[in-house]
Amino acid sequence: MTETLSHNKETYQNTSQPAVRVRGLSRRFGNNPPVLHGLDLTIAPGEFVALLGHSGSGKSTLLRTLAGLDPVTEGEVSTPDEISVVFQESRLLPWKTVWENVALAQQSATRAQATRLLDEVGLAHRQDAWPLTLSGGEAQRAALARALIREPAFLMLDEPFAALDALTRLRMQALVATLWQRHHSAVLLVTHDVDEALTLADRAIVLDKGRIRLDMPIPLERPRRHADPVFERLRTQLLEELGVHT
Amino acid sequence: MSGASFHNAPPLLPRDKASLAAPPAHPRHQKTGTRGPIHRIRWSVLPALGRYASPVILVLLWQAACSTGLISTRLFASPLQILATGWGLAQDGTLQANLGVSLLRAASGLALALATGISLALIAALSRIGENVIDAPIQILRTLPVLALAPLFILWFGIGELPKVLLVALGATFPVYLNLHKGIRAIDPKLLEMAHTIGLSRWQRIRNVILPGALPDLLVGTRLAVSIAWLMLVVAEQINASSGIGHMMMDAQDFLRTDIIFVGLAIYGLLGLISDQGVRILERRALVWRQPSAQGRGQNHD
C-alpha cells in the first residue's frame, strides 16, 4: 500500500500542471474510522480516470469533496475553476424545459449554444420537452449537455449510467468516449462497472477503506475491444483487487 | 429542423431507450382519442346530470313550499323572489356598488397576505436565524382564532377600511406562510446540490430552484387563503360596515328582507366558487410541467 502511495507522489512530481491535485486528504465523520485516509491523487489535464471501489470505500466522499459539496477539513485539494458534475440521477429541474436546464448551467449561455450541446448528445429533438417526459437515457444525455456547456476543465461523472438498462448504458458509454475526445476535459468517472472503466479510462484507481489500493494505467488503443487479451488480463486484475475472484 | 439535426447525428450516437419506447406512446394516445368520448358520455355526463338533479329538485320543492304557503316567505324567501330581488338590486346599482367594495377589500387583503406570507416564509425557510425568529411566533399565533381579534382591530384601527382589510390579510397570511414554508423545506436537496455545482448564486438558486420548486405548495396555500379571505370578509363586513355585501345583508336583517339576505349568500357563494376556479386554472397553467401528458411544445419522438 505504501508503494502505491509513493508511486502517486512520483506521478505528481513528474506532472508539471495537473488539472486536479489532492494531497493528504482525510475525512472523518465522528469517531468512525476515516472515510478518506491521507489520500493523494493527481489527474493530468485531459486524462480520463476511473474510480472503483465498494460501497463505503470513500468514492462518493472523494467526488463530493472534489466537487466542492463537502468541505476539505484535512489535506489539500486543488481543482480547476470550471468543473462539472453528472450525478447518477439527472437532477434536471422539472419546471424548466430541457434546453433551459442546459442553458442555466452557463451564465451567458444562449439558446443556440444549448441547442448545439443538445445536438452533440443527440437530444436536439427533445429540447422543448419537460424533463419528466424524458426516459432515463434521455435525461442523462441532457445532464451531460448541461455539464459540457460549462466547458469544464474537469468533469466528474458519479455512476452516471448505473440506473440505466444495459443497452442504454453501452450507448451512453460510446457517447461519453466521443464527447471526451472532442472536449478534452480531465474526467473522473466513479463506477462499479469494471468493463466500463476499462472501456473508457486511461487509468483505473481502486479505493479501499479510504486509501488507494491500486492505481493502474490502461495502456490500450481506442476503441477498445473486450476480446483483447490485455483487456481480459486487466479485467481479472481489477476484479481481484475488488475482491472478486474469477 | 430538430428532426433533421437528429438524423444528421453520427450513428455513433444511437437512439436510446426513449426512442425505442416512443412508438407505444402513439397507440396510447390514439386509444384515448377514439375511445375517450364514448367513455365520457357514458360515465361522466349521466352521473353529472344525476348530481345536479337532486339540487334542482330541492329548489323546486322549496319554491313549491313557498307558493303553497307551507313555509312563511317572511322567514324564507322563495327562489323566484330571490331572483327578482337580485335583478332589482342589480338594476338600481346597489348590488354592483356593494360588490365592488367587497371585492376591493378581499383583493387588498389577499394581496397583503400573499406579500407578507411569501416574504416571511422565504426568510424563515432560508435562514436559521429567520427560522428561530419567525416560525415559532407564527406557529403560536396561528392557533388563535383570528376572528376573535375583530374587536381589538376595531379599537386599534377604527371603523374604516383598514381593520377589514387587515383582518382579511391576517387570516389569509397563515395558509400562505405555512404551505410555502413546507414547500421550500421539501425541495429535493439533490437539486440544490446541483445548483451549487453549476455555480448559481444565492438569488439565482431562489429564483430558479427554490421558488418554482415550492410553487405547487404556494398555490395550495393560495387556494386556502382565498377561501379564508371570504370568510374573514363576511365577518368583518357584518360587525361594522357601511357598505359591502355583508353590510347589505345586515341592513336587510333590520327590515326582515330574507330575499336580500339570500341574494347576499348567493353572491358570497359565487365569489368563493369563481375565485377557487381561478386559482385552479392558475395551477394548471403554472404547473404544466407536472403533467407529462401536456407536453405540447412541438416534439417528435421518432
User: Does the pLDDT of residue A227 top 60, yes or no?
Assistant: yes
Which tens digit of pLDDT belongs to each residue from B24-44?
444 444 444 444 445 555 555
**CA–CA dist A246, B130 (Å, integer):** 58
Q: How, if at all, do strands A203-208 and A48-53 pair?
A: parallel
What ipTM goes with this model? 0.87
* Rounded Cα–Cα distance for residues B75 and B72 (Å): 6
C-alpha triplet B287, B288, B289: angle, nearest 5°:
90
- Please give the pLDDT value at position B45: 61
Cell numbers found for residue B197: 455545482
Class of domain A2-82+153-241: alpha beta
A135 with B16: Cβ contact below 8 A:
yes
- Contact criterion met (CB < 8 Å) for A129 and B198: no
- Structural domain spans, chain A: 2-82+153-241, 93-151
Query: Chains A and B: how many Cβ contacts under 8 Å?
Result: 111
Cβ of B197 within 8 Å of Cβ of A67? The answer is yes
Residue of A nearest to B287 (CA): A95
Closest residue by Cα to residue A150 from A198, A192, A106, A114: A106
H helix runs in chain B, sequence order: 2-8, 17-21, 25-40, 46-67, 79-91, 94-126, 128-130, 136-141, 150-157, 161-185, 189-197, 202-205, 211-239, 245-254, 258-286
For the domain B79-289, what is the CATH code?
1.10.3720.10
CA distances from B201 to A65, A146, A152, B195, B225 (A): 19, 17, 18, 9, 32
* Average pLDDT of the residues of chain A: 90
Q: What is the pLDDT of residue B293?
A: 53
Torsion of CA A185, A186, A190, A193, to 10 degrees: 80
Taking CA atoms, what residue in B is nearest to A105?
Answer: B198
The radius of gyration of chain A from alpha carbons, rounded to an integer in Å, stands at 18
| Integer Cα distance of A147 and B140 in angstroms | 46
| Residue A238 half-sphere exposure toward CB, CA atoms < 13 A | 29
| Chain B residues inside the 8 Å CB shell of A89 | 190
Residues A165-175: tens digit of each pLDDT: 999 999 999 99
From chain A, pick out residues whose CB is under 8 angstroms from the CB of B14: 122, 171, 174
User: What phi and psi, each to the nearest 5 degrees, are found at residue A130?
Assistant: -80, 140
Residues of A in contact with B288 (CB under 8 A): 130
